[in-house]
Amino acid sequence: MIRVLFVCLGNICRSPMAEAVFMHLVREAGLENKIEADSAGTGSWHIDSVPHPGTLGILEAKGIPYEGLGRQIKRDDLDKFDYIVTMDDENLRNVRRLGKGRAKVAPLLDYAPHAEIREVPDPYFDGGFDVVYHLVHEGAVGLLAAIRQEHGL
């Protein structure tokens, strides 16, 4: 099983959206028996919290289910997952501070070569969930394509 972990700051906006969108694409491709995903935050503020209403609202509008609760990334995640995918540079630095593991660590928008920005903005305070959805979708499409190519799927 190929395991992907999406990481943002609090695990209630961007990373659960990325997890849900990515797994929706995985299911559409018929690869749910080969690829699984989870999400986590670098901070501990929202452990066991449901996602932000803005995240849930846009996922519902797109017909994408999500039922996860917030959690914080742990050191052993670096060895449990094959890919750790961050939303912004701060998330990337915080994940790298945990040490090295077997996971390939990279920003989501590295998989979205046509995106005009390199970080997924945090919509927690200002909204912008539509913009975040489009960036996350573009990155998730690229990530899935990269995984399929790398693993011969």
Of 8, 13, 71, 82, the catalytic one is: 8
Of 13, 14, 38, 82, the catalytic one is: 14
- Residue 89, burial from CB neighbour count under 10 angstroms (0-12, 13-18, 19+): exposed
| CB neighbour list of residue 143: distance below 8 Å, 6 or more residues apart | 4, 22, 83, 85, 108, 111
Q: Is 8 a catalytic residue?
A: yes
Q: Is 13 a catalytic residue?
A: no
Q: Is 96 a catalytic residue?
A: no
Of 38, 82, 88, 122, the catalytic one is: 122
Q: For residue 5, what are the β-bridge partners?
A: 38, 84
Provide the 3-class DSSP secondary structure of residue 58.
helix
- Element containing residue 107 per DSSP (H, E): strand 104-107
- What residues act catalytically? 8, 14, 122
